[in-house]
Amino acid sequence: MRYQFGIPAQAPVLLFVGRLTSDKGIPELVRAFLKLGNQFPISICSWRDASRTKIPFPSILEKVLETHPRVVFAGPVQDIATYYAIADVVVLPSHREGLPTVILEAQAAGKPVVERR
């Protein structure tokens, strides 16, 4: 999977799984990613359901996601297990979640999770 996305073997990978919407914390995620600089050179954004409409967030942040050389979009994914396997840290900056499936899946895969509280 790393080879497929052009990710060096030793590069730390941050993984976000979810819809690309403001309520999922995408603006905060982008700002945090930019502040981290080269500490985490690769971030993979993945989402499960392409049929859901994304809620707009500031266009400058969308531009960063689309053009940043250290951001990889996996696109709609049904089997997320391989993405968890290459992740070093799973991030979930969502503004509202009850019992997030992403956190349960990440923990089942043995991955640390950073979430917004």
**Residue type, position 84, single letter:** Y
What is 2-115's CATH topology? Rossmann fold (3.40.50)
Q: Using CB atoms within 10 A of its CB, is residue 61 exposed (0-12), middle (13-18) or buried (19+)?
A: middle
pLDDT in tens, the chain (117 residues): 888 888 888 888 889 888 777 888 888 888 888 887 667 666 666 665 554 555 566 777 777 777 888 888 777 777 888 889 989 999 998 888 777 888 999 999 999 999 876
- Angle in degrees, CA 108, 112, 53, rounded to 5: 80
Look at residue 116 and give its three-state secondary structure.
Answer: coil
